[in-house]
Amino acid sequence: MVSPKKYIITQRGAMEDKSGLFTPPLRGLTKYEIVLLISRRARSLNQMRIDLQKKYRVHLIEKVKPTIVSLKEYFNDEFKPTYEPKEEQ
């Protein structure tokens, strides 16, 4: 069985075939800051779901996990970082 091709997204947003490697678009942030940004967005999405459940007293079925939604939003540049990196002196 042939394994599917794996791509990386360069800083310019282009996808390149690099078997086994993945580099997210950095947009001036470190990888650690990107993880913080995406996890913070996932927690806010999950909290919105919980608030809606409490408000309308219904159980919302989660078809896509908040982490996946926030990753897609980051890669498609649909939300801007609210995390401001500290400037080095």
- Give tens-digit pLDDT for 69-86: 888 888 888 877 665 656
Top-confidence residue, 45 or 76: 45
Asked whether residue 34 is assigned to any structural domain, the reply reads: yes
Q: How far apart are CA 8 and CA 15, in angstroms?
A: 5
Task: State mean pLDDT over 42-52.
Answer: 93
Q: What is the pTM of this model?
A: 0.64
> What is the spatial distance between Cα 26 and Cα 30, in angstroms, rounded to a whole number?
7
Q: Can you give the residue range of the structural domain that contains 58?
A: 28-81
- Residues 8 and 21: beta-carbon distance below 8 Å: yes
Asked if the structure places residue 54 within a domain, the reply is yes
Q: Classify residue 88: in a domain, yes or no.
A: no
The arithmetic mean of pLDDT across residues 36-53, rounded, is 92
Assigned token pair, 82: 């609210």
Number of domains, the chain: 1
Flag whether 48 is in a domain: yes
Residue 16, in any domain of the structure:
no
Q: What percent of the chain has pLDDT over 90?
A: 19
77 within some domain: yes
